[in-house]
Amino acid sequence: MDLFKLNGDVALVTGAGSGIGQAIAIGLAEAGADVACFGHASKGGLDETAHRITALGRKALALTGTVTSQSDLAAAIDRVESELGALTVAVNNAGIAGPTGGVDEIDPSDWRRCIDICLTGQFLCARRAVPLIKAAGGGSIVSMSSAAGRHGYAFRTPYSAAKFGVIGFTQSLAKELGPHAIRVNAILPGIIEGPRIEGVISARAKQVGISHEEMTGRYLQNISLRRMTSPYDVASMVAFLLSDAGINISGQSLGVDGNVETL
C-alpha cells in the first residue's frame, strides 16, 4: 500500500485558479485524486488548472463562484457529487491579502471583506461539504491559515485576525468531526512567492519610506531558512495530510514557512 496516494478520493479546492490553490489542486491530482477547482471567475486560471489535471489522467471540474456566496458553493458542491462522485476532501484555500494600514486608517468595509473571504468563506464551505464527507464515510478538511495566524502582524490586522480565527475554527471542527472519521488540519504558510506578496511588500515599503528591495530583505531576515515558501512546498504538505500517511493527524496547525520567527 502506498501511504502517500489519494486514489479514489474526490477533492474540492477553493481558490484553485492560481498560486497555492492551483499547486494544491495539481498536486492532489498527481497523487491520484479527482479534483473540483472552485474560484472567482474574474481571477481566471480555473480552466488551466482543470486542463493540467485532466492531462494527468484525472477528472476535473472548473467551478466559478465566490466562497462568500452560499448559493455559489451549493451549486458547485452539488456538481462535484453528481459529476465526480462522493466528496471526501475539502481544501479551504481561498483568501485575500486584505488592506495594509494602521487600525485607524483601515476602512471597516475592507476589514469585513477580508474576514468574510478568509474566515467566513471557510465556514460556509465546510457547512456545505461536511454532510457529503460524512455520507462518504469520512475524509479530511485542510484549511489555510498563515504565519500571521501565529504571530501578530502590525498594519495587517484584518488578515492576521482572520488567520488566527482559522486556527480556532480548525481545532473546534476537528473535535466535532473526529467521531465521524473526518480529520481537520490547518496549514500556516509563510511568505509565499508570487504577485500577492510582492504587492504587500510594495505597500509596506511605501508606508515606511524604503525601497521594495530593502523591505524584501527585512522580510527574509525574519525567516530562519532565509527563503520564501513556494506554492509547491504547501501543496506537498497538504497532500501528505490528506493521504493515509497523515491518518492520525487532526486538529493541528502546521507551519510551512521556513520557520518565520516574527512578522
Residue 164 covered by a domain: yes
The answer to the question of residue 1 being in a domain is no
Q: Is residue 24 part of a domain?
A: yes
**Within a domain: 203:** no
User: Could you read off the pLDDT of 127-137 as tens digits, one per residue?
Assistant: 999 999 999 99
State the average pLDDT for the chain.
94
Domain that holds residue 43: 10-192+230-256
- Residue 215 domain-assigned? no
Residues shown for the chain:
263
pLDDT digits (tens, 9 = 90+) for 65-104: 999 999 999 999 999 999 999 999 999 999 999 999 999 9
User: Into how many domains does the chain fold?
Assistant: 1
Local confidence band at 194 (pLDDT 50, 70, 90 cut-offs) = confident
**Positions marked active-site:** 159
- CATH number at 20 reads 3.40.50.720
* pTM of the entire predicted model: 0.91
Is 135 part of a structural domain of the chain? yes
- C-alpha closest to that of 118 among 166, 184, 46, 77: 166
